[in-house]
Each structure stands twice: as structure tokens, then as C-alpha cells.
Amino acid sequence: MGGTAALALTGAGMLATQVGSAKPKPQSAQNYQTQTADIQRRQDADAKKRQDALARASAQHRARFAAQGISPADGSSAAILEGLQKKTTQQLDDKAVGYNAERARAQTTFADVQAAQLEQRTSRSDLLSNNDVLQQFKNWW
């Protein structure tokens, strides 16, 4: 019956090897921070590009109004400039929703990886405590 204990210990050793090798794709805190910093950098660049486009379009419209002798602060010309501002603000808000969703996906992925690693460590310590029981059984046998 000594073979049964050895077989049990061999099985436990193989299980420990499998648990140790079943590692999820690691995502370190540094990778997560880099990813969120990249998202923020892209959002800032996009906002600057849209603000620059608004400034150019507003300047062009003001120049056209002035060339026609129309004050850019009155009536229809002011409404056109205000519409450009509102459109740009809405575009920035819409893009912010996308960037926030991207940040949330990165955070969820990071949290999932961290949870899997914690579960793996917990399983490993449970396995080691079970291995101690098997060792006691072997010593008894």
C-alpha cells in the first residue's frame, strides 16, 4: 500500500506544477499606468486638434463677416460662431465618453488579472497545505 501514498504525492506534485504554470497574461501596475497615460495623451492631443480647428474656423468666419461689413458679434454671425463652439464642445464630450470607456476596459482587465493572480496564489497555498496532509499520510503509512 506504500505505492498508493507515493502515487498520491506524485499526483499532488503534478497538480502543483499545473497550478504554477497556469498563469494569466500578466499586466503589471506599470503597464496599466502606461496604458492609461497613453489614453490621456491621445485625448489631450485630440482636444487640442479640435480646439485648433475651432479657432481656425472662427477666424475664417470672422474675416468673411468683416469683409462683408458685418459685425461678428451681432445677430446671425454671432449665432454661427456660437454654433461652431457648441459643435466642438459636443464633439469633445462625445470623444471623452469613448476615452472613458477605454480607461474602464483597461481598469477591468487589470483588476481581472490581479484577481486571477490572487486566486492562483490562494490555490497554491491551499495545495501546499494539502501536500502537508499527504506527507503526514505518507509518514503514517
Domain boundaries, the chain: 2-140
Contacts of 26 (CB under 8 A, 6+ apart): 113, 117
Per-position b or e across 24-40, b if 16+ CB within 10 A of its CB: eeebeeeebeebeeebe
Alpha carbon distance 138, 6 (integer Å): 7
Distance CA 127, CA 134 (A): 10
Cα 36 to Cα 33: distance, rounded to the nearest angstrom? 5
For the chain, the 3-state helix, strand and coil shares in percent, each to the nearest 5, are 90, 0, 10
Alpha-carbon distance of 19 to 10, in angstroms, equals 14
SS3 69: coil
Tens of pLDDT, residue by residue, the chain (141 residues): 445 544 444 544 544 444 444 444 455 778 888 999 999 999 999 999 999 999 999 999 999 999 999 888 888 889 999 999 999 999 999 999 999 999 999 888 888 888 887 787 776 666 556 666 666 666 666
